[in-house]
Chains A and B, each alone.
Chain A
Amino acid sequence: MSFLALKNPREASVMAALTVGMVMAPFFFPQLLQQLTMLWLMVVFALTWDMTGGQMGYNSFGNVLFFGIGAYAGVMVQREAGFDYHTGFVVGVLAATVLAGVVAMVLGIGMLGLRGHYFAIGTLGLGIAAGELAGAWDLIGAGSGLTSPLYPADAAHGRSAGDGGQFFYWWMAGLAVVCFWVSRALYRTRFGLALNAIRDDEDKAEALGLPTTSIKIFAWSLSACLLGAAGAIAGNVIGFIDPKDVAFAGATFGVWMVLMAILGGKGTLWGPVLGAVIFHLTQELFWTYLLGWQRVALGLFIISIVVFFPEGILGSLRTRFPALFGVRVEERS
């Protein structure tokens, strides 16, 4: 399993610390379980956005579409397919993964022929349109949304009893881990190089014979699959799927995806992870201590990110201390 190899001791220790944190946190802070679950959701958001936005240079402002499709698909399977709870949950996550991926593939065939800016503008409408459609579609609850089925142990004691919370925590944490390792492995392959080549100069990539359109569609679909799975899990964490405020929440989730990746450093593996952690912590703190002003504070925070860290935290560090990141600036023979 060469892709598991951790040659860089710094990376290995960060990873070990994160793993310990991930495993211990629910036991030490059981009252924060939902916020912790949302933290891993944020990591998934940032990592999947960066697959196309950072690594490939295709900024999508519509990725929340895949999250929303996943949320609806997962919960619909749970409610309607007649499985027992756990089977329904797993089948729901898988259905969400596949459906989101297929939608991305179909959209990609139409939209990924567009170059950078045009693609970005094209994606802007996706989440909004989906929110309107879902809000008008009776089968999936239209404007009044969908409630996810209660976790069996919680059905007796109510939602906050905790067993369901634990269950969803481990699923979301597991998905974040899968996301991280898939990205890490992928960025080391020829496919990863091709993504960066498309970002740096797509005409040149074509001139070298790279099948750029297929590569772009595959990358977007892969990130959509992971987002779809995240949607199915998150639908259960939140418990209620509102078409515009939860599933296709472009103004919150949709924007945060982009911001977190940029904050940490887009186009790097660890940047989105770091950005998601910092963003989520900051946001929770604002919510707790600046109630009433939290949106203003968030806005100022976002502006300062863009002004002071245009390359993101990791990007700026890498420019300042390239040796730490294995980047050489001096020639050596």
Chain B
Amino acid sequence: MSVLLNVQNVNKAYGGVVANKDVSLQVKRGEISGLIGPNGSGKTTLFGSIVGAHPIDGGRIQFDGEEISSLRVPQIARLGLSRTFQQTRIFGEMDCLQNMRIASPMQARHFGQWLSRVPASVDRRADELLDFVGLHSKRLLKAGSLSFGQQKLLEFAMALMNEPKLLLLDEPTAGINPTLINGVVDRLKRANEEMGITLLVIEHNMRVIMNLATHITCLAHGEVLASGTPDDVRDDKRVVDAYLGAA
């Protein structure tokens, strides 16, 4: 399998706080990769570095063979690299269908697309994906009126609308009713298998990530602590210590 995302020695500090220190990781095309680590270990910061939300202090990031470390958020997104946010971001005053429409892919330079309505094929895809995440009956409700868990599902569906090559998910199960977690995990797997989307998932819940990912990287204090198969990482004493120490 070829490498889709290649992060090499990335550094990022906020003032005196070193949030990422010499972080390297690879995501292979087609796999589900996991990123774990205690709170404050720099996982969200790494996502921000990858998608261009902030400049990095050092290192290189390649996506699909292209150097992206100096590109900005919309440019990187248009290359097919999307992310969802830990705090969940949707367009609250717009209804779910409108949220899906604006998430649909387009060529930025094709001016006519901006001045025409979103085509019916987009609406059909939006309906399919809203159905996929179980929100079809709420398609005309304001997104801001949905529960937190439903907003997370909507954000996930929006990301799928974008047909990314790589999707970064920041704690997709956090704050979701525990009885619904299996449903989310199942949908992530299906997005990977049926739609061919490569996933890099930040997950706090060890049981969930062991079940989901085929490769896991563990951060602690901004550095890569361990990396390997779920079994390797779970049995790594330093990982266990980091989690127990943080708990």
Binding site for B on A (CB under 8 A): 2, 186, 188-191, 193-194, 196-197, 199-201, 203-212, 267, 327-329, 331-333
Selected from A188, A191, A201, A329, the residue in CB contact (under 8 A) with B90 is: A201
Size category of the B interface is 35 or more
A197 touches B94 (CB 8 A): yes
Please judge, given known A-B contacts A189-B117, A199-B93, whether A207 and B137 are in contact too, CB under 8 Å: no
Residue of B nearest to A204 (CB): B89
Q: How far is the CA of A197 from the CA of B104 in the complex (A)?
A: 13
**A190-B102 contact given A200-B94, A209-B162, A331-B138, CB 8 Å threshold:** yes
A217 CB to closest chain B CB (Å) equals 13
The answer to whether A208 touches B103, judged by C-beta atoms less than 8 angstroms apart, is yes
| Docked pose: A193 CA to B137 CA in angstroms | 21
Which of B75-83, B192-200, B231-239 faces chain A? B75-83
Contact A193 B118 (CB under 8 A): yes
Interface residues of B (CB under 8 A from A): 51, 53, 73-75, 77-78, 82-83, 85, 89-95, 98, 101-103, 105-106, 108, 113-118, 136-138, 140-142, 145, 158, 162
The answer on a CB contact under 8 Å between B116 and A190 is yes
A218 to chain B, nearest CB (A): 8
Residues from chain A with a CB closer than 8 A to the CB of B92 are 200-201
Q: Which of A193, A206, A207 contacts B101 (CB 8 A)?
A: A193
Contact A207 B83 (CB under 8 A): yes
Q: Are B74 and A191 in contact, CB atoms less than 8 angstroms apart?
A: no
Nearest opposing residue in chain B for A198, CB measure: B91
| Known contacts A200-B92, A329-B145, A332-B137, A208 near B118 by CB under 8 Å | no
- B82, A204: Cβ atoms closer than 8 Å: no
In the docked arrangement, what's the CA distance between A190 and B51, Å? 24
A191 to B106, CA, bound (A): 12
Q: Are B137 and A333 in contact (CB under 8 A)?
A: yes
Task: Give the number of A-B contacts (CB < 8 Å).
Answer: 98
A190 touches B94 (CB 8 A): no
Quick check: A196 and B145 within 8 Å, CB to CB? no
B156 to chain A, nearest CB (A): 13
Known: A194-B102, A196-B98, A328-B140. A208 touches B162 (CB 8 A): yes
State A132–B129 Cα separation when bound (angstroms).
56
B117 near A204 (CB under 8 angstroms)? no
CB of B74 within 8 A of CB of A197, answer: no
Contact of B115 among A2, A189, A205, A211 (CB under 8 A): A189
Check A208–B115 contact: CB distance below 8 A: no
Known: A211-B108, A332-B137. A196 touches B91 (CB 8 A): yes
Contacting residues, chain B, for A333 (C-beta < 8 A): 136-137
Q: Show 9 residue pairs from A and B whose CB-CB distance is below 8 angstroms, ordered by the A residue.
A: A190-B113, A200-B91, A206-B73, A207-B73, A208-B102, A209-B75, A209-B82, A209-B108, A212-B74
Those 7 A-B pairs whose CB atoms lie nearest each other, nearest first: A209-B77, A200-B91, A204-B89, A333-B137, A193-B102, A328-B140, A209-B78
**Closest chain A residue, CB of each to CB of B119:** A190
**Cβ A191 vs Cβ B89 within 8 A:** no
B95: chain A residues at CB < 8 Å are: 327-328
Please name the residue on chain B nearest to A209 by beta carbon.
Answer: B77
CA gap between A205 and B103 in the complex, in Å: 8
In whole angstroms, how far apart are the Cα atoms of A209 and B98 in the complex? 16
CA–CA, A258 and B106, complex, Å: 34
**Given A190-B116, A197-B102, A208 and B158 contact (CB-CB distance below 8 Å):** yes
- Give CA–CA (A329, B138) in the complex, Å: 9
CA distance A207 to B83 in the complex (A): 7
State the CA gap A221–B82 with chains docked (Å): 30
- A186, B117: Cα distance in complex, Å: 9
Asked if B114 and A194 make an inter-chain contact with CB atoms under 8 angstroms apart, the answer reads yes
Interface centre among A186, A197, A333 (most CB of B within 10 A): A197
Give the nearest-CB partner of A3 in chain B.
B117
